[in-house]
Amino acid sequence: MASAIASTLATRPVRAVSHRATRDPAWARWTLTAVALLFLAFFLVLPLLVVFVQALDKGGAYFLATVREPDALASIRLTLLTVAIAVPANVTFGVSAAWAIAKFRFPGKSLLTTLIDLPFAVSPVISGLIYVLVFGAQGWLGPWLIDHNIRIIFAVPGIILATTFVTFPFVARELIPLMQAQGTDEEYSAVTLGASGWQTFWRVTLPNIRWGLLYGVILCNARAMGEFGAVSVVSGHIRGETNTMPLHVEILYNEYNIVGAFAVASLLALLALATLVLKSIVEWRQTGTP
C-alpha cells in the first residue's frame, strides 16, 4: 500500500508534463461528460427509479400485502429453490472445468472452452424450447416420462434445468482465465511436499481463486433469479406452483395490477442493486484498489 502511494507520487511530475498532449479541451470534457451522464440517466437511472416509485404508489401497506400474498410467497420460494440447485451445480461444473482446462494440456481444449460459452449465444426462448423438445409430451423422452408419471416440462424440474442452462458458463468463464494465469507452480509444490489431490485443491487452489469464484457466483445468482424467457417457455404458468418471481411479475402486470407487478419487481431490482454493490467490492479487492 505505502509503496504503491510512493510510486504514484514519484511518477506524478512526469505525468503532469505529458498531460497536455493527452488532455481534451475543457469544452469537450464538459460536453462529453454531460452527454454520457444524460444518456445513462435516461437509460439506467430512470428505469430503476420508476420501479421503486411505482411499487410504493399505493403506499407501504399495499406493498407489503402484495409481497406477502400466498402466490407471491410461492414464487419467491420457487425462485430460491431454483437458485439453490442451479448455482451449486454450475459452481461444481465451473471449478471442475477450470481445473481440467487450466492445469492440464490435452487436445481439443480450445474447442471445449468455446463450447462452454455456447449457452450465452442462445436466445433464452430457444434455451427453453430445446428442453421442451427433449422432455415435452412430443419430445424424445416424452412418452417414457408419461408412462412413468414424471413431469419435467410445465413443472419445477424443467424450470431448474432451463435456469441451469442459461447460467451455465458464468462460473467457468470467470475461473478458467484466472487459473490459467496462476499456473501450476503452487499445486506442484503442494503435491511434491506430499499433499493429496483434495488437500491441494482445498488448501492451495481454492484460497487462490476465492474472489474470482465469488464473482462468478454473484453473476450466476443474479441471472438465475431473474431469468424470464427460458423459464417462461417451460413453466406452464400455474399460479402458486410453477411461477418464479419474474413470471409472477408478468402475470400481475398482464392483469393490470401494475402496482403489484412493480412491488414484486422492486424486490428483484433490490437484488440487482445488491449484485452491483457486491460485484464492485469484489472487483476492488481483486485489483487491490480499495
Nearer CB in complex with another protein: 74/250: 250
What are 43's three cell numbers? 437509460
Collect all residues with Cβ–Cβ distance below 8 Å to 155 and sequence separation of at least 6. 236, 242
Nearer CB in complex with another protein: 41/64: 41
Q: Cα separation of 110 and 115, whole Å?
A: 9
CB 153 within 8 A of CB 234: yes
* Contact track, another protein, 11-50, x by CB under 8 A: -------x-xxx-xx--xx--xx-xxx-xx-xxxxxxx-x
Instruction: Choose which of 56, 65, 85, 130 interacts with another protein (CB under 8 A).
Output: 130
Nearer CB in complex with another protein: 1/21: 21
Nearer CB in complex with another protein: 29/239: 29
Q: Does 103 bind another protein (CB under 8 A)?
A: yes
Task: Please name the residue that has the C-alpha cell 481454492.
Answer: 206
Range in contact with another protein (rule: CB under 8 A) among 58-66, 144-152, 164-172, 208-216: 164-172
Long-range contacts of 152-158 (CB under 8 A, 24+ apart): 153/234, 153/236, 154/234, 154/235, 154/236, 154/238, 154/242, 155/236, 155/242, 156/78, 156/81, 156/82, 156/242, 158/131, 158/234, 158/235
Q: Enumerate residues 183-202 that contact another protein by CB under 8 A.
A: 183-184, 187-188, 191-192, 196-197, 200-201
Q: Enumerate residues 40-99 that contact another protein by CB under 8 A.
A: 40, 42-48, 50-51, 54, 92-93, 96-97, 99
Instruction: Choose which of 83, 156, 220, 222 interacts with another protein (CB under 8 A).
Output: 222
Instruction: Choose which of 11, 123, 144, 206 interacts with another protein (CB under 8 A).
Output: 123
Taking the mean position of all CA atoms in its chain, how far away is CA 140? 30
